[in-house]
Chains A and B, each alone.
Chain A
């Protein structure tokens, strides 16, 4: 008996509780290793990085001046001189595609960025405060949801007038409600957590709780939704340009290039092929990255 009690008394009461310092990868490390396991998404991400580099260094990469007409090679097919052929003014299509990358990415990324910021703010407010504010924001979203996306964008551009900056506004407006809805639902579950109640019990202000405790919970959803929406935004911007409501026809926007090439589809199909392929690949890449991000950020999909 006495032996026993000595043994019991020997250990400090705390010794059982102290954890050895564990080396953990952390949230970001874990996310990176998970994402890298998905080949498709990784490849797509590589493609997007390439696109971004092209967008930044475009002017140094173009083999020809993208705006220079050359009437000796009108609508020439792909050749060693002009890899993607030339258009109806004899401009080098590859150069125009490279130059247009910046325009396309700038329009779609800024539109999605605006939509994400607006939607996140609205979603946080709506989910956190509830009541009439929630109803107002959600019914407003429903109204926007009830329009077909492109029709709404066309309507907005029709009001504001054509031009790329108005295309950005239009695409941002129809992207906002989906962010608002997603962030609202995350907010609703996050504000029920005990640590929010604990923070409240310590006297934290609402703004503090939203910013410190609820916003971080929504970040994964925001990232995933951004990557998913960029593809749609590229398509929408291209469609508006194709319909003559976005970029001017002189600008090397991919959608505008499609629009111009349409008239010569039967005699020079390559004028539309290459911008079309560019749009297709870019949208596909963003969607694949979005899928990969969703899988990597979803804590329920542990493997």
Chain B
């Protein structure tokens, strides 16, 4: 098997809280191949963003700490990398787009300068060449009048334009992997579609891998090749995007898909999954989803299921006793 671009194995991230610590990410495994878009889906508070920050090793200013596991990027384990080398990878091979375009640019610095800094640092360009490259990147992300706009301040741009600038910045050093943490959540719907199209075409042009973190299943369907569903710091289901929507195996995934309102159906109430993500310090003993699951069985409360392949398919996994039962039955009859 070829080497994956990014391979996360058994990643655990702990946050110190009131003397003890809680695991925001409790053993996450997934991988991304070159040129592939992996969606990371889940409710708020399920550990999506912490996972992305752990990969980038940006937890330094939080009480969080990676306590176990490995993050292999082209074979090197980022968890063990010294900070200095990590800095060379950040923004260069590994870039990130944040959720809030309104606040991810420094309001007192001109856009050109903010774009040029990482270019000068990673690509070793001079001031003038970096500026030209910045203008080129702005054109690439579809910003009109790019050569005028480099001298503007962020407040002179709209949210969609700022997100384009952030994408231009993240793409400026031709990263091999782009982590996009809810890149369209803060934008209005028409702009969302434009940004998604832009990311799609840029991804294809540059043949980079992408980790798309979102809670918007529409975005997933639009952009992703494969999907990893997270719940309470764990991966509960992994599938190709087609499989996931056609045949969700985990009750949580099913709930997520059902809670998306449908266009052609008249409904009085929106469907939802009852309850909330459990408090990290008061996790149920067995399956973490059991308290909210409609199919809960005794076994679910007693023991946590493992993330196991479904129907013998590669890259099709589910963490549920139900699918594992079906699997076993299917295996017997076959």
Chain A residues near B (Cβ < 8 Å): 13-14, 16-19, 22, 24, 27, 191-195, 197-205, 208, 212-213, 216-217
Pair B106/A200 contact, Cβ less than 8 Å: no
Q: Mark B92-128, 1 if CB is under 8 A from A, else 0.
A: 1001101010011111110000100110011000000
List of A residues within 8 angstroms of B91 by Cβ: 201-204
Pair A200/B90 contact, Cβ less than 8 Å: yes
Known: A194-B103, A212-B106. A201 touches B117 (CB 8 A): no
A234 to chain B, nearest CB (A): 32
B251, CB-defined interface residue at 8 Å: no
Measured CA separation A14–B142 after assembly (Å): 8
Give B170's nearest chain A residue, CB to CB: A202
Give A192's nearest chain B residue, CB to CB: B61
Q: How many B residues are at the interface, by size bracket? A: 35 or more
Give A15's nearest chain B residue, CB to CB: B144
Binds A, one of B158-166, B221-229, B293-301, B310-318: B158-166
Give B108's nearest chain A residue, CB to CB: A216
B260, CB-defined interface residue at 8 Å: no
Measured CA separation A87–B182 after assembly (Å): 76
Known: A192-B61, A193-B103, A195-B103. A203 touches B121 (CB 8 A): yes
Pair A19/B121 contact, Cβ less than 8 Å: no
Say which residue of A13, A14, A198, A200 sits within 8 Å of B166 (CB atoms): A198
B156, CB-defined interface residue at 8 Å: yes
Measured CA separation A216–B160 after assembly (Å): 26
Known: A13-B194, A202-B90, A203-B89. A197 touches B58 (CB 8 A): yes
Measured CA separation A17–B118 after assembly (Å): 26
Measured CA separation A229–B58 after assembly (Å): 38
Say which residue of B58, B107, B160, B191 sits within 8 Å of A200 (CB atoms): B58
Measured CA separation A205–B88 after assembly (Å): 10
| New contact pairs (8) apart from A198-B169, A202-B91, A204-B117, CB-CB < 8 Å | A14-B144, A24-B156, A195-B105, A198-B96, A198-B105, A200-B90, A203-B90, A213-B106
30 contacts between A and B (CB under 8 A): A13-B194, A14-B142, A14-B144, A14-B194, A17-B191, A18-B145, A19-B156, A19-B158, A24-B156, A194-B98, A194-B100, A194-B103, A197-B61, A197-B98, A199-B106, A200-B58, A200-B90, A201-B56, A201-B90, A202-B90, A202-B91, A202-B117, A203-B89, A203-B90, A203-B92, A203-B118, A203-B122, A212-B117, A213-B106, A217-B108
List of B residues within 8 angstroms of A202 by Cβ: 90-91, 95, 117-118, 169-170
B242, CB-defined interface residue at 8 Å: no
